Amino acid sequence: MKIFLLLLSVIGRSSQLVLNDCGSEARRPQVSDIAVQCGTSSIGLAIQICPVIYTGYNETLLILNHMLEPTCRATLDESVNPPVARFNFPLNMTHACGSIFRTTSAAGTGIFSDFSNIQTVNISGVVRSIDPTTGTITYNAELKYYYSCAYPLEYLINNTQVDVSASSIAIKDNNGSFISTLSMELFTDSNYTRPLVMPQLGIELRTSVYVEVKATNLTGQYHVLLDRCYASISPLPSNSSFFNLFVPCSKDQFTTMIENGDSQSARFYFPAFRFIEQQNETVSTYYLHCITRLCEKSTCSTFKQCNNRRKRSPLDTSADGIAQTYTISSSEIVTKTDTNESKEKPLSAGEDNDSAVGLGVAVGILAFVSLVALCVAAVFYKRLRN
């Protein structure tokens, strides 16, 4: 009885659009009548309203996942052509207008091939029509609009039709990404308050570099977990030498992890180093990259256990098999070379030749002096004997 009274009040607020206003759009539903926008904090649905009116309904009779709350109802948008009924609801498991959250796992491929558990969250639901007809029969076909958004939960930081029958069913699947919520920033202090401004001549070797990977404007049910971070000479990590700061269940002895998988930010720091192959250059320049997992708060701890992760081989640089990767890398890190003369400083070709010539001259002079000394000694020896 309560639902019936609510439906009567809903019908009283029906759309002002009528079938005559639709013109050529007054037709039966088609595959393209629903559009889905998979955002980072909400999902948006847009359903063309004229086929809905043609079938005998309006936007007030389209119900999202049986939810009758005002925040889950459609609003008519006549500012676009053709006009649409819009739904917009947050990506939050506690209130997503009845949407179903389903997390699936599969073995990683390509650059993620060293991880046995790569997760994807799928958020789905249905918009159904409610027939206001009372009595034994109806002439209105039932409308069903299914939607689905799939979000991968693993990123490299360096970023779905209408069949008409007895029921009109629209299915729209789409892919979303949380990559735009992720960012990497470098700092100079352990409080992560002073951003690192790279000097033109670079930073001193062994200077502590503090790294933060953070998610902003992301639904609160996910935490940030770093699976692997490494440095490469090229901004494109697959095209150059690299050095692992840490990989699953292992890290470089000089890398210190501060926070990982406990909130919407992950933090670590390491001392500035240089690549040996850049030893003949004035400065050493490289970039940081992190493979980042978004895990549900209740499951993050399981991904920290080594038996759920595969350790990356240090020789594995393959990135084949990735149809699309999302890369947000750090700004370039520049380190100074040692300004003092030391055994690490390489000799140029000219310096090497000069050293060889000088050494030869010194040996020749020493041999000549030794020969003269022997001759003088022989003369004195003969005189003493006589």
Q: Closest Cα partner for 32 from 14, 19, 51, 18?
A: 51
Distance between CA atoms of residues 57 and 43, nearest Å: 23
Residue 362: partners with Cβ closer than 8 Å, 6 or more residues away: none
Question: What is the tens place of the pLDDT at every residue in 98-127?
Answer: 999 988 877 766 666 666 677 888 999 999
> Is-above-0.75 flag for pTM?
no
Task: Give the bridge partners for 287, in sequence order.
Answer: 232
Per-residue pLDDT of the chain (386 residues; tens, 9 = 90+): 444 444 444 444 555 788 888 888 888 888 789 999 998 888 999 999 999 999 889 999 999 999 999 989 999 999 998 999 999 998 876 778 999 998 887 776 666 666 667 788 899 999 999 988 887 877 788 899 999 998 888 877 763 223 333 445 666 667 788 888 888 899 999 999 999 888 888 888 889 999 999 988 887 888 898 888 888 888 776 767 888 998 877 888 899 999 998 999 999 999 988 888 887 788 888 888 888 888 888 888 888 776 544 444 333 333 332 223 234 467 778 887 665 443 343 334 444 445 555 556 666 677 666 766 777 666 666 666 65
**Amino acid identity of 9?**
S
Query: pLDDT (tens digit, 9 = 90+) per residue, 148-180?
Result: 998 888 877 763 223 333 445 666 667 788 888
Half-sphere exposure of 214 (CA within 13 A, CB side): 8
Helix ranges (H only) for 233-332 are 300-303
How many residues are present in the chain? 386
| Closest-CA residue to 221 (of 297, 300, 292) | 297
Terminal-to-terminal C-alpha distance of the chain: 146
Q: Which residues pair with 42 in a beta bridge?
A: 90
Spatial neighbors of 272 by CB under 8 A, at least 6 apart, are 203, 204, 205, 206, 207, 208, 209, 333, 335
- Judge if the upstream peptide bond of residue 82 is cis by omega within 30 degrees of 0: yes
Dist. CA 269–CA 206, nearest whole Å: 11
- Sign for the CA dihedral angle at 218, 325, 114, 148 comes to positive
Element (H, E) at 15: none
Q: How far apart are CA 38 and CA 91, in angstroms?
A: 9
Q: Which domains does the chain have, with CATH numbers?
A: 2-177 (2.60.40.3210), 180-336 (2.60.40.4100)
